[in-house]
Amino acid sequence: MDKKVKQEPESHSDVKQSRIENLETLGPYILEQDNAKNFVYVSDIPQLCKDEPCMLGVDEAGRGPVLGPMVYGIAFCPLSKKDILKQLGFADSKQLTEEKRDQIFDEMNRKDFAKTALGWAVEAISPNVISMCMLRRTKHSLNEVSMDSAIGLINSAIDAGVNIAEVYVDTVGPPEKYQAKLKAIFPKFKITVAKKADSTYPIVSAASIAAKVTRDHALKVWKFRERPNEEVTSFGSGYPGDPTTKKFLGEIDLVFGFPRLVRFSWSTAGNALEKKAYDMEFEDETDAKDAEKASYGSKKLSKYFATSKNENRKRHEYFRERCLEHVADI
């Protein structure tokens, strides 16, 4: 996982949205990212956050949905500026309306009193990456993906010069084990890992809002490579109980399955594929060798066009991202 500060993204557009300055610029920035990959964004770092000891909160959004990215967020501010968090009205993002979350996000990036004392960062973890981690031969659980992201974002803040003194984290799994793990990695920080930390600690609520608003707008501007004419609102909230999401999951390509928006590793998606999609059969290695033999003891012509096993050639990104391997020579 990339732990460095996100630099200006590549884009074919004449005008690049290189920084997120308010709610209005959030969508255009996300739109320029490759939604098949993770991306990290770190806000401008207030000088006060470099000069004074700071608290830092960690939370996520989109852990449960079958669609879209999971977004981890951090927020940080000086210990002496706790009142700013109350002034902005931070609370658990799940208890706020979408309009209220958007308003708070806009103010934390636009208001002078907030910009001089509050910073934030997010990592959007692509559904494509989540699926590959959970389905690959050496499995990487969602908890491990979550912890890696949280640790990476804390390191991003350190790299950017934030003077961290205290860290508050909304837990993944048993709080005691997670806290011990973080304490071993960051022994100089006072670390608190707790359940429902976003309802208890305003700095975690700030991280929660950064994560939730980023995920909401990532879905609003989602680009379908597989379905270029797809309407961005046609898949619902992404939660399995949403009727619109259920309808979307019922529209399966019988060969290729779902677009990258869907987390293939979720049982909801897997069950839908098993019911409707074509079964795939892979030829055994012994059958492939027998197929190479032709009559009169000669080899098939296709044998001479097969890639040498000793040839180290980099495979196309399409196959590497999906962990696809060929099972027989053509």
- With bands split at pLDDT 50, 70 and 90, how would you rate the model's confidence at 253? confident
**Which pLDDT does position 10 carry in this prediction?**
41
**Residue 326 pLDDT exceeds 90:** no
* Angstrom distance (rounded) from CA 60 to CA 204: 10
Separation of CA 100 from chain center: 23
Tell me: the pLDDT tens digits for 165-179? 999 999 998 999 999
pLDDT tens by residue, 265-276: 888 888 888 888
| Spatial separation of the C-alpha atoms in residues 126 and 35, rounded to whole Å | 6
Question: Residue 87: what pLDDT?
Answer: 93
Domain extents in the chain: 23-221, 243-275
With 80 as the cut, is the pLDDT of residue 72 above it?
yes
Residues 23-221, CATH architecture: 2-Layer Sandwich (3.30)
* Residue 21 to residues 33, 50, 75, 115, Cα–Cα distance (Å): 17, 20, 15, 10
Q: What is the pLDDT of residues 121-171, one digit of tens each?
A: 999 999 999 999 988 888 889 999 999 999 999 999 999 999 999 999 999
* 170 annotated to a ligand binding site: yes
Percent above pLDDT 70 for the chain: 80
For the CA atoms of 314, 319, 321, 323, the dihedral, rounded to the nearest 10 degrees, stands at -100
Distance of CA 5 to the CA centre of its chain: 16
State yes or no: 59 annotated in a binding site.
yes
Half-sphere exposure of residue 46, counting CA atoms within 13 Å on the CB side? 22
| Tokens 């259920």, located at residue | 246
> pLDDT tier at 230 (50, 70, 90 boundaries)?
low
Contact 72, 125 (CB under 8 A): yes
